[in-house]
A and B are shown apart, each in its own frame.
Chain A
């Protein structure tokens, strides 16, 4: 049993005291930030990212992963208790969860989210352990044309899934690709878009981009809301924590179905946890016996999306680790973090760094267990965090951002850069441009360029190479199909809305 032997290596790493410590710190910090309303996983990771760079290689990624699912747990908690969803994924949980809380059943709702997430996580770990190595084996055959097409697919998927016009998403990806070209070109050494400044020779660090676009811009947005910022009622009371036996029985199948959907969606490029939980909720609404109670506090409406959410969060590591191609913005951050630590994600990582790969996977399980232990007894404590006034919180967040960035390269220019990017990020929010595709572009830009150049070299300047190689062709066909389907769907929805308007007027 290869799998068991591999998992044994993994647990060896994940159960070492230092890994467990970093994992615990990660999930705790993640939950802490995740509970704060308006700060989603991206902003949370953006704020906490620099801290992880001072940990050893494997521990740093374990901690980052812990921060990631910690924020998701924290987000669900606030979504249920206060109907303040911090992320798209927790918005789904808030639908029925908050209704349950209103009926005095917040306890069972919270316990159920934790249990469903734990279940989803556990299944997803097996999926990751089972699928990532064969996928990596398969990907060993990939050459630059395949990688180029795969990246095009990932970038377009990210662009298509943006809310609002499709071209806006595309344009944001392109802006990201342009930002990624800043700095000295790798082959010729020609400085591009550096405006004759030495600072830009190394390009703009993706850390600065993330913290500016997601961390700082978020702070600005919250402050600009001013008096409109939602006032939080912090007193939450519930009678009993433990779900009834019926709750458990009702939740089992939805959790299992949600986990299945989530595990599948997580692997797809561009999809990720938010869409997985929407899909799981939509499915449950159709198949559940209890469907008429959906939206009125059905426990199934929590169990399914939570299972999906967590499963997808973990299976989305599969393409990131085994192909080196991130599916969404969070995975793009993970990829960047791996590279900063000198690990090259891709098919070879499983062979060359088995301790890292299997250790990370095993740490998912450890992290989920920590969350179970942290969340259930201390829910009340997490809620208390909400009563910290924002006027105290945001100077602290800003200090964290500033010190964190400065600690990376000791370069005061980075602080000015992050300020500028934060302002741009705020402008993007005002223009309703989602920044996630841009980030994916920034990170993939050098890889895309290198693989394009190599492909053209191999084919002696014939661009047909991308269509002649079967695997590459399949990726491109999938891209066209996927984009076509989404565009058709939104076109139909708009047409329907328009004919609806005509009827009413």
Chain B
């Protein structure tokens, strides 16, 4: 895999700076203490400042490199941002939906139903999977999981609502 991607580096640098700024902003509320007695704010503050610095360093380094290769036009700077492809959105959405459904259902509805909904929703991630296949998977996989976790390992889960 090609790991050299200055456009991604620029976005990463911006993200690090924003994260660092956020961390420092919040850490302003925590007592710093003294050098002798470091307070709870010392570490977050120090790490946050270092993070901002490394973000700036990374960004500067990348910008200098890009400039040595040509003019800094908009596509050079923002080339990383692309609208994600449809299948990526679909995959991400179905997996997130499946996991969230599991989180919401596992307590009230029990292990089997929660897993079944997770499997059904997440298996819709790929456009080629037929509905019947998803239903079949949503029956077989939860049964296997219940077998392994509840009867195999012996975890005291509630299987049914």
Contact = CB atoms under 8 A, between A and B. Distances in A.
Interface of A: 51, 54, 163-165, 167-168, 170-171, 174-175, 177-178, 181, 185, 187-188, 190, 192-193, 216, 219-220, 223-224, 226, 391-392, 394-396, 398-400, 402-403, 406-407, 412-413, 415-416, 418-419, 422-423, 426, 430-433, 445, 448-449, 452-453, 456-457, 460-463
B40 A395 contact: no
Q: Is the interface of A mostly helix, strand, loop or mixed?
A: helix
B47 A181 contact: yes
A219 B95 contact: yes
B106 interface: yes
Contact of A163 (B3, B8, B107): B3
Given A171-B54, A192-B44, 14 more contacts: A167-B61, A178-B44, A216-B95, A223-B126, A224-B85, A224-B87, A391-B123, A415-B100, A419-B100, A422-B95, A432-B5, A432-B9, A456-B37, A461-B36
B26 A193 contact: yes
B23 A178 contact: yes
A190 B42 CA distance: 13
Given A165-B9, A391-B126, A415 B58 contact: no
B82 to A, nearest CB: 10
Contacts of B62: 165
Interface of B: 3-5, 8-9, 11-13, 15-16, 19-20, 23, 26-27, 30-31, 34-40, 42-44, 47-48, 50-51, 54-55, 57-58, 61-62, 80, 85, 87-88, 91-92, 95-96, 98-100, 102-104, 106-107, 111, 114-115, 118-119, 122-123, 125-126, 128-129, 133, 137, 141-142, 144-145, 149, 153-155, 157
Secondary structure class of chain B's binding surface, majority of residues:
helix
A395 to B, nearest CB: 4
B57 A167 contact: yes
Nearest to A397: B122
Contacts of A431: 8-9, 11-12, 15, 80
B99 A418 contact: yes
A-B pairs with the 10 shortest C-beta distances?
Answer: A415-B103, A461-B36, A461-B35, A223-B91, A185-B40, A167-B58, A174-B51, A395-B119, A163-B3, A171-B54
Contact of A168 (B9, B27, B92, B155): B9
A341 to B, nearest CB: 16
Contact of A190 (B5, B30, B106): B30
B126 to A, nearest CB: 5
Given A164-B3, A407-B155, A449 B43 contact: yes
A449 B33 CA distance: 13
Nearest to B84: A224
Given A174-B54, A402-B102, A403-B149, A394 B43 contact: no
